Amino acid sequence: MVGIPGRSRGCLACRQRKIKCDQALPACSQCRRSRRRYRCTGSITGVFISTMTSESVNQPTNILSNSQLQTLQLPRAKAFEQLFISHFVESFGNTRDTPPFWLDKLPEFFFSSASGPARESIRAATMLFYGILTCNIPIQTEANRFYARALRSLRAWLQNGNGTPSNSGYSTNLSAAPISDSIIVCAPVMMCHFEMMASSSPDGWMNHIEAAAGMLERLGPENCRLGLEHEMFLTVRLFMVFVCMTRNKAHLFMSEPWMTVPFEKSSKNLRDELVDVLLLLPGCLTVSEEFLNIRRLGSTMVEIEAKLRDSVLSLVFALHQWCLKYCYTEDGFGRLYLDADVCTGVPSQDRTTLVAVFDAANVIAFSLLLLVTPATYHPNHSYQARLHAQSALSADAYIDSNYITAPGGGSLLMAFALKIVSVWAPLQEQRDYAIRKLQNWDLSKSSHESRGFAAPVFRDEVCNVYYVNVAKEISHRLDDPILLE
């Protein structure tokens, strides 16, 4: 590492290519000349210097002496910070709209924000991402220290008069108060990314997202129509879909004001409209769970049955409308493709991932139709569920076979689709395939951002994430058609 004779300190790409590296930051000249064919990871430093700014943290042992730390110049320290942030942002691809999305503004937030929690959380998440990317344990260790600092900083910020709802999972339970610094919403979002990579707590990433959602709720939908607040809302509401499916509950973001008001100043794109549909899933599944509990007790309740039918048909209609607007089919197997003319600027891997999520939502929709339609329609609904499950798995296989490295956001969506298939697919072999893919997620190229998120769900476990109890009950009733009557 540092100061060891004969040990190359060049970037990972140059060492793999066995060429000389000039160790320039944030990218060496060899990688720059390759026209982005190679992503420069930066030269080997042995550890991330903990005194990049005027602030000081606990000095790491056996890494650098005090005299070495004092010789470090600030411009080079800033280059290291920029290196970490740029790699993290780049992992999400170049698919975001203009003007730049909030991820592209992370350097601005980090170097100019007066918000301590946002600064510390950005440093922790981006440093951990780089440490995992380069297999650098000292950097990962430092990232964990900064994550602890970010948690303490956010708690202190909350205690100074900015509360978060008690259902956020945060230990600080304070009364609601106005958000004085909109950049603060970035802090729990970045800490969510950290938890997804570190997997230090099974529920940690969800607690952070619920805290961010609580901050946006206090702002109100009318204050999430423009600027940073709108950008953060787009990210948080997508993550809330994941949270709601994991914790089996609906959320305020599925209400009419939150579906419409934040988009009064900007139109929805295909991803936004798909998220609208996905937000219907938890509410529909909650009603299904209530309906099955009543049926299990031998009771009848016309009102809940009508409510279930309306919610399921609304879900199916919303999926159908999204399909008519954005998709087409060109083969005899009913396989769907996003229309490139409608989805201009959306790369192939992103289109494939969005269709996979659409198919996964259809697996749930057609499974729920078995509860609210006559038995004569059941064979077709079951067939459609199998078809959509296979289509979602084919999308994953396409990405693998074409050596496409899904961007950070895309890998989360693909993991989400696979988790749905692992629970809801009608065929055991489809569920087994999805589980194997999720179990191997740590070994894939896109695992840096979502390895904690991609933990597989097993039907035989004593849990009810992704409404697994409803899925098992429907499978049981499908095996015994009399129960579906």
pLDDT at 213: 94
Q: Name the nearest CA neighbour of 485 among 370, 380, 381.
A: 370
Q: Map residue 400 onto helix, strand or coil.
A: helix
Tokens representing 20 are 């000389």
CA-CA-CA-CA dihedral for 348, 354, 359, 360, to nearest 10: 130
Could you tell me the end-to-end alpha-carbon distance of the chain, in angstroms, rounded to an integer?
A: 69
User: pLDDT (tens digit, 0 to 9) for every residue of the chain, 485 residues total?
Assistant: 334 444 567 787 888 888 888 877 667 888 877 755 456 766 655 443 333 333 333 333 333 333 333 333 334 557 778 889 988 888 876 544 444 578 888 888 888 755 688 899 999 999 999 998 888 899 999 999 999 999 998 888 877 755 444 444 454 443 344 445 678 899 999 999 999 888 777 788 999 999 999 999 988 999 999 988 999 999 999 999 999 999 999 999 999 999 999 999 988 988 999 999 999 999 999 999 988 888 765 555 788 888 999 999 999 999 999 988 887 665 545 566 666 566 655 666 778 888 899 999 999 999 999 988 888 888 899 999 999 999 999 988 888 777 555 445 567 888 899 999 999 999 999 999 999 988 887 555 444 555 567 777 777 766 778 999 999 988 887 765 544 45
Q: Are 412 and 193 in contact (CB under 8 A)?
A: no
Q: Map residue 337 onto helix, strand or coil.
A: strand
Cα–Cα dist 172/372, whole Å: 43
| DSSP, res 59 | P
Amino acid at 454: A
Q: Are 431 and 466 in contact (CB under 8 A)?
A: no
Q: How far is CA 168 from the centre of its chain?
A: 18
Q: Map residue 279 onto helix, strand or coil.
A: coil
Cα–Cα dist 311/308, whole Å: 5
Tokens representing 166 are 């008690």
Cα–Cα dist 158/334, whole Å: 52
Q: Name the nearest CA neighbour of 26 among 90, 68, 79.
A: 79
Backbone angles phi, psi at 221, to 5 degrees: -60, -30
Tokens representing 72 are 């470090």
Q: Map residue 52 onto helix, strand or coil.
A: coil
What are the domain boundaries of the chain?
1-44, 74-252, 270-484
Number of other CB atoms surrounding residue 223 within 10 Å: 17
Beta bridge partners of 337: 328
DSSP for 457-485, written as a single string: --TTSS--GGGHHHHHHHHHHHHSGGGG-
* 13-25 residues labelled b (16+ CB within 10 A) or e (exposed): bbeeeeeebebbb
Amino acid at 319: L
Q: How far is CA 15 from the centre of its chain?
A: 32
26 upstream amide cis, omega within 30 of 0? yes
* 254-293 residues labelled b (16+ CB within 10 A) or e (exposed): beeebbeebbeeeeeebbbbbbbbbbbbbbbbbbbbebbe
pLDDT at 452: 61
pLDDT at 173: 41
Q: Which residues contact 359 (CB under 8 A, 6 or more apart)?
A: 336, 388, 389, 391, 392, 395, 417
DSSP H stretches of helix in 329-377: 348-372
Cα–Cα dist 290/306, whole Å: 12
Cα–Cα dist 60/66, whole Å: 11
